[in-house]
Structure 1
């Protein structure tokens, strides 16, 4: 795994400042501490940080074709490169290495922009073709690997694996985007294609970007989408057998490495299934890594231990104190923009543990989205059935009235917490689902933001992110539709972002077999009854794994990778919350209603309401602002603010 960076002059061939390019690249040193590579020519600079995984001796980047006219910098793994090599060799291409990077160069020469359709893996890369005067950028289908870009006012195009690569350039405007702030407080992350900065963007998953010198910057082009194409009639027994075969194949192609390899093992269904398949394919005991918590309410270590014992893995466990909140500032710096998934804390710790034993780890990410494992899918289906029984003209005012008068009972059992359900039923399908997944729903955000900030939004609402994707959803089935929405938003913006930054902070590569696009294409086409069967999510997946995993691992209640925020904010973090949420930094923005923030803190501290998720979002936003204010860049401090034309090769 690696980090990439670059500067491209879209208008001409002005010299690229080598010192600046190296500085941008060094900001992501953690992504590739093994080697550094730079290539500069008129109007172009490419940079690379390498974490060596395959062909340790000859896989250096930037990597060129035979005559040096095509060059690539690449972050990721191409799992089918060994199948592509003989096909490309037969067409006359000459390979000088045994690494997957070289396949990209020759695939581009052979198939042009369609080369990405032949690649199976996780990737973000930038390729320069001197003869065609073309810079080609691509990101994998599920956005496992990140890719950021920006166009400066003077026509220089920047790109990098992390946002900090772009902000290292002194000419990038650091103006915050109000629409991104609205989206952040709704989702807890900033969905593609926005970033927190108005002039920087994320290349969406399954998209490419083709730049040609002398032409305007085009928009990204989509080359793949999740098909949800029905697989046809399939019995439960046949589906189980096919699933195991396909999962074993997806795991098997990810065991290729010349460095120590292992797996995360949380004790949940997804990671346990991956470990079971690994054990059946590996001649040596599998290395597994788990985090244990002292608080039994959050601890799954005993279930992980059962799977480890069953397969004789080399099992590594580290116990983490549930008051492990020392990473708040570390996380704010790691993600470069506000990020409010509190499970980033234990994710960081399990990556830290894994790196002590392996360089590559397989994970179980993607199982809930593909097999309808989240409880919210079941609740959404119930709500959709109720919506279908009543016309909108009657349903919306009726449930709107009920939601206004029904008390908010955070402390009560879920069956009595009907206020949120009434609020969702008063909305249409997309808005109702948005209400269920929002960290701060519309009413809370309406109170959180100041009148001034609402004017800056000009009526924009974060639900438009889901509406944009829903318009392209390939299925009318209510569960498939919200699975699609999660795959386009939550999976990419939250799950994959969290794992990428946490793992790369420790120079650890993580591979996700359940996000293999060939596997996911098949799974997406399974009928809903094989995914959500009555109250049971992941139905066919769990049935298929019954011969491989203990019953209590498969059918116990889902726990998640949670931390006790509510207790923290009423205890050890009480003063920090008050200082951050009610301090001058947020007030000085003019974007927040400080009286409401004070009310929210008081309600939470007194125990009257649970505002832990909202307060965590505000806390992480304040931490981002604090680091942004303090972040006088080293390049600026050193006085080397030379323009891009003042450098040289």
Structure 2
């Protein structure tokens, strides 16, 4: 997958700035452990850290073509073979077998319009040597990250991760009020970052940087189209798309595996992959989780028994990764997760366990298939089906996730009043709602469910994709997400909600499309999110860490907290302060502190 970084400056000479460009690039050594490269010109510096997946020997970067353009690229283009054939027919000659060279020569042939021909997950920077202009491009669903930071005088810094930009001496390490609002909102706004002055390239966007300034263009976004297929045709079309998508995404010169949770999404991908040959699968579980599992409103069953059902039915080469509470609560591991993601959350043990799963896979596989985004595409989350969430004038997931606590519960009343996160959520919700494309003559129900789907595909899935990318790439693991293929997303987005729930269940279309591949237990299983530990010892350990943080008196998060609220929490019996609800509030304090500490950030509110 790789990591990219760079710097454009039209007022100076960057040919002597190798040390700075290298420092930016080397912040992403975990993303690209296989090789590194820096390319310099008077007004551009491009850096690359490589995770070699296709054409291990030949695909070194930054890659140049005929002294016309140079490319630093992260990701995979799954239709690169077809594009290569087209380009060869037009006279292009290739030096490598890599998809990187296909993108580069595609630009020489089609210019910026090459982006319309790409099927894949990618983020790249292309410097046109002749025109002295930079293109920053991100894939349609935003699977691969890309950030930029404008500089005075028209220059710009960019990187796959914020840490690459922050390594430059001209980048400020500051989080402002909007950055904190984004953290506490649990709805990621496209184009924003948590850092003052830094922006994220939007999914499906091209950013062009010239001497005359910076311009942005959306080359892809969801559009409304009349759905004319009947139900049977729709199910067949979904299956046909999935067959093609999975086959394309199995292309790799390095070992490939699947992430198997025992749910419909991951089991379907594993089954589809096995139609093309053997595959290894990995699952995560907590010690004693199944034996002591207690159902709640989010999770009705543990994953373990269903993983075993899938393994017995499909027969992949399977490995279970068993985690224990002691390691989950290790502050050093929390700090590692924060350095990798650079985004504080209040779901800490789920982030940490995912990081540990990817660490366990490292050394066995370099590429993994994940079921991420199937719930957003097919309508799998519980709040798609709860009237109070669907009808609420806000992001529907907040109605469920925030009903007992908010991420800022332990923060000072003055800060909460100043940030007014509820008003911020309302504004961002209205912005998102205004973007939704509608078809004429749709019923009120269909219009609303189209809005709910759009909110998930443009505001919710972003966080999950960022998390999976950053935590996997911290271990040199490329995670592919077949359900994010834009053809599938476009088709299902425009499918009536009545089709998506035709059997009275969530994800009806997906279930019907893969019904011949999976055992009945998995086809009938209700949606269960990624597991979270239920061990009361985990909450007690959080409480102990929070107590130490407060007693130390120097933690950067302390000036932001409601001291009385924290002291009341610590004064309650250990069992009460270890409850799931209280645990989430403590998670945010500890994660935010780890983030501020790891980045040495200034806070401006």
Asked whether the two chains share a fold, i.e. TM above 0.5, the reply is yes
Q: Which residue of 2 aligns with 1:52?
A: 52
Q: Which residue of 1 aligns with 2:241?
A: 246
Contact 2:557 2:592 in 1 (8 A): no
Contact 1:582 1:597 in 2 (8 A): no
1:226-252: per-residue Cα shift (whole Å, max 9, x none)?
2353431312x3332222221011000
Q: Which residue of 2 aligns with 1:210?
A: 208
- 2:459 is the counterpart of 1:489: yes
Contact 2:539 2:583 in 1 (8 A): no
Alignment match of 2:190 (pick from 189, 192, 215): 192
Contact 1:367 1:514 in 2 (8 A): yes
Task: Rate the CA distance shift 1:565–1:602 in 2: closer, same or farther, 3 A.
Answer: farther
1:196-223: per-residue Cα shift (whole Å, max 9, x none)?
21011211111110001x22233x3211
Residues of 2 paired with 1:495 and 1:360: CA distance?
18
Q: Which residue of 2 aligns with 1:398?
A: none
Q: Which residue of 1 aligns with 2:441?
A: none
Q: Which residue of 2 aligns with 1:76?
A: 75
Deviation, 1:533, is 4.2
Deviation, 1:534, is 6.8
Contact 1:581 1:619 in 2 (8 A): no
Residues of 1 paired with 2:548 and 2:281: CA distance?
40
Deviation, 1:303, is 1.6
Residues of 2 paired with 1:46 and 1:369: CA distance?
35
Contact 2:555 2:593 in 1 (8 A): yes
Contact 1:274 1:362 in 2 (8 A): yes
Residue 308 of structure 2: SS of its match in structure 1? Answer: helix
1:574-603: per-residue Cα shift (whole Å, max 9, x none)?
211233368645687644433334445556
Residue 176 of structure 1: SS of its match in structure 2? Answer: strand
Q: How is 1:32-47 mapped onto 2 (pairs within 5 angstroms)?
A: 32-47=32-47
Contact 2:369 2:479 in 1 (8 A): yes
Task: Rate the CA distance shift 1:357–1:14 in 2: closer, same or farther, 3 A.
Answer: closer
- 2:312 is the counterpart of 1:317: no
Residues of 2 paired with 1:221 and 1:438: CA distance?
35
Deviation, 1:447, is 7.9
Unaligned runs of 5+ in 2: 294-300, 439-445
Deviation, 1:57, is 1.9
Q: Which residue of 2 aligns with 1:346?
A: 353
Residues of 1 paired with 2:114 and 2:563: CA distance?
52
Residue 503 of structure 1: SS of its match in structure 2? Answer: helix
Higher mean alpha-carbon deviation, 340-349 vs 97-106, is at 340-349
Deviation, 1:154, is 5.5
Alignment match of 2:306 (pick from 273, 289, 303): 303
1:629-649: per-residue Cα shift (whole Å, max 9, x none)?
399xxxxxxxxxxxxxxxxxx
Contact 1:577 1:619 in 2 (8 A): yes
Contact 1:36 1:50 in 2 (8 A): yes
Task: Rate the CA distance shift 1:44–1:471 in 2: closer, same or farther, 3 A.
Answer: same
C-alpha root-mean-square deviation of aligned residues, in Å? 2.7
Residue 359 of structure 2: SS of its match in structure 1? Answer: helix
Q: How is 1:430-449 mapped onto 2 (pairs within 5 angstroms)?
A: 430=394, 434-438=398-402, 445=408, 448-449=411-412
1:122-181: per-residue Cα shift (whole Å, max 9, x none)?
000000001112100000111110111112336441111111111111221112121110
Deviation, 1:437, is 4.8
Higher mean alpha-carbon deviation, 565-574 vs 71-80, is at 565-574
Alignment match of 2:384 (pick from 354, 377, 386): 377
Deviation, 1:572, is 2.5
Q: Which residue of 1 aligns with 2:255?
A: 260
Residues of 2 paired with 1:519 and 1:114: CA distance?
22
Unaligned runs of 5+ in 1: 388-423, 632-649
Q: Which residue of 1 aligns with 2:488?
A: 519
Alignment match of 2:593 (pick from 590, 610, 622): 622
Q: Which residue of 2 aligns with 1:410?
A: none
Q: Which residue of 2 aligns with 1:222?
A: 218
Contact 1:329 1:623 in 2 (8 A): yes
Contact 2:453 2:493 in 1 (8 A): no
Q: Which residue of 2 aligns with 1:401?
A: none
TM-score, normalization by structure 2: 0.89
1:450-497: per-residue Cα shift (whole Å, max 9, x none)?
4266447799613323322211011362222122111112211x2111
Residues of 1 paired with 2:405 and 2:346: CA distance?
15
Q: Which residue of 2 aligns with 1:139?
A: 138
Contact 1:196 1:338 in 2 (8 A): no
Higher mean alpha-carbon deviation, 69-78 vs 429-438, is at 429-438
Task: Rate the CA distance shift 1:439–1:211 in 2: closer, same or farther, 3 A.
Answer: farther
Alignment match of 1:580 (pick from 549, 572, 575): 549
Residues of 2 paired with 1:117 and 1:341: CA distance?
37
TM-score, normalization by structure 1: 0.83
1:78-100: per-residue Cα shift (whole Å, max 9, x none)?
00111111222223333222111
Residues of 1 paired with 2:534 and 2:572: CA distance?
15
Deviation, 1:102, is 1.1
Q: Which residue of 2 aligns with 1:635?
A: none
Task: Rate the CA distance shift 1:367–1:40 in 2: closer, same or farther, 3 A.
Answer: same
Contact 1:16 1:44 in 2 (8 A): no
Q: Which residue of 2 aligns with 1:541?
A: 510
Contact 2:372 2:481 in 1 (8 A): yes
Contact 1:566 1:612 in 2 (8 A): no
Deviation, 1:61, is 0.7
1:536-557: per-residue Cα shift (whole Å, max 9, x none)?
1001211222211111112223
Contact 2:557 2:593 in 1 (8 A): no
Residues of 2 paired with 1:439 and 1:506: CA distance?
35
Deviation, 1:612, is 2.4
Residues of 2 paired with 1:433 and 1:336: CA distance?
23
